[in-house]
Amino acid sequence: MLASPSSTEAAAPASDSTFYTPLSTTYAAPSVTFFIFAIHVLGISSIMGSINIIATIMNMRAPGMTYMKMPLFVWTWFITAFLLVAVMPVLAGAVTMMLMDIHFGTSFFSAAGGGDPVLFQHIFWFFGHPEVYIIILPAFGVVSQVIPAFSRKPLFGYASMVYATAAIAILSFVVWAHHMYTVGMPVAGELFFMYATMLIAVPTGVKVFNWVSTMWRGALSFETPMLFSIGFLVLFTIGGFTGLMLSIAPADFQYHDTYFVVAHFHYVMVAGAVFSMTSAVYFWLPKWTGRMYNETMGKVHFWISFVGFNVTFFPQHFVGLAGMPRRVPDYALQFADFNMMSSIGAFVYGASQIMFLYNVIATIVSGEKVSDEQVWDGAEGLEWTLPTPAPYHTFEVPPKLDATPAHA
């Protein structure tokens, strides 16, 4: 039996992660008010953290460390921090207007009072699309540190990587309505957002080309951090191609709100956020702790994760194209087999993370001591010149960099 909105007094909000109005306002449970408060607190913390990062990078670089000598990981965090400062106030404005609609009788998003629920979608996605780049840019930075280390050669096209990151950040502000092709925008608007979304694939393609070129004819070795970074590269590229499919406005009427979008999102975001974060943990954990993780277990973790991920999300492309909608608690019988595949893959993928957790804890508690201060022979950057494990106070005397450009 479906409960009416009035009977859900103590229930969860009748909306999902995008909290579209009117489900999150007119039909909202009391918990939405607390949700709005939490968003404000998170926004404040994000902005404060970002200002800290920007101020640190601008004012506390080592002598001789010019902007174009900074590690790519620092660059991506720098640009990410600017993105956060720019978009969190927009989200705060959206949820404040929601609060007004719920408690103070305004009609920002209520058509009955002269407002517009689509306005909420515009404001939300003006925040929401830069947000996915906020998540992915630090991931790009991690991969830009790991791949050169295990290719044993400098990152190919350093300057173009910096400019590509900046271009992605700037373009991320003008693509938001590709989430909204089906709301009835003017065709000129759809065209603008379609071309802008296609354009953002260009700097992203530059980055993928540079990562592959870095590996080209390098002295490659495939330790666990490298495996996760290459896994990221493969999955993220697949997700990028499905993103280009979704960018085409007339085609998107077929894809919109189906599992095809779910598959695309997870190929870019799980590959982006989770695989790169895992790569980063394996890469820096020996430096942090002074102990080496179990390499065999790390590789097994990678392969089970990689296979489990693909078994989970690849079938979702097919059910999506066949018309299975998102955000529906049930599905038609013809989708049952592919959904079973997804469920099995999800259990496998989830279970493999238990192995990861065990490996990390076992390393911290009783891992084999790292014999080499540098840990990885190809690793570049100031942190690798420190003792292992890194002391609490690093560089009592600031390190001096030479005057030659670090990146050709």
pLDDT digit string, tens, across residues 14-25:
678 889 998 899
Taking the model in full, what pTM does it have? 0.93
Query: Residue 173 has which token pair?
Result: 């502000």
Q: How confident is the model at residue 407 (pLDDT cuts 50, 70, 90)?
A: low
Instruction: Report percent pLDDT > 70 for the chain.
Output: 95
Residue 57 near residue 78 (C-beta atoms within 8 A): yes
Contact assessment for residue 235 and residue 267, using Cβ atoms and an 8 Å cutoff:
yes
Largest Cα span, the chain: 72
Kindly state the DSSP code that residue 64 receives in the 8-state scheme.
T
- Domain chopping of the chain, boundaries: 17-108+115-385
Whole-angstrom distance, CA of residue 69 vs CA of residue 158: 9
Distances (CA, A) of 19 to 32, 135, 233, 239, 265: 9, 20, 31, 24, 18
pLDDT value for 8: 45
CA of 323: how far to CAs of 243, 254, 256, in Å? 18, 8, 10
Instruction: Count Cα atoms within 13 angstroms, Cβ side, for 46.
Output: 22
Residue range 276-293, pLDDT digits in tens: 999 999 999 999 999 999
Residue-wise pLDDT for 357-377, tens only, equals 999 999 999 999 998 888 999
Q: CB 81: neighbour CB atoms within 10 A?
A: 24
* Res. 9: pLDDT tops 80: no
Band of pLDDT at residue 259, cut at 50, 70 and 90: very high
Q: How far is CA 276 from CA 27, 116, 201, 238, in A?
A: 39, 39, 20, 16
| Phi, psi torsion values for 292, nearest 5 degrees | -95, 135
How far is 354 from 351, CA to CA, in rounded Å? 5
Of 10 and 334, the one with more pLDDT = 334
Structure tokens at 355: 């192995």
Taking phi first (over 0 means left), then psi (-120 to 50 degrees means alpha), and beta for anything else, what does residue 155 get? beta
- When pLDDT is cut at 50, 70 and 90, the band that residue 390 belongs to is confident
Closest CA to 243 of 304, 185, 172, 186: 172
Exposure string over 138-164, b if 16+ CB within 10 A, otherwise e = bbbbbbbbbbbbbbebebbbbeebbeb
> How far apart are alpha carbons 110 and 104 in whole angstroms?
13
Half-sphere exposure of 368 (CA within 13 A, CB side): 7
- pLDDT bracket for residue 401 (50, 70, 90): confident
At 206-225, the pLDDT tens digits run 999 999 999 999 999 999 99
Here the tokens at position 167 are 């271009």
Residue 405: per-residue pLDDT? 57
Fold of 17-108+115-385: Cytochrome C Oxidase; Chain A (1.20.210)
What does the pLDDT read at residue 408?
A: 53
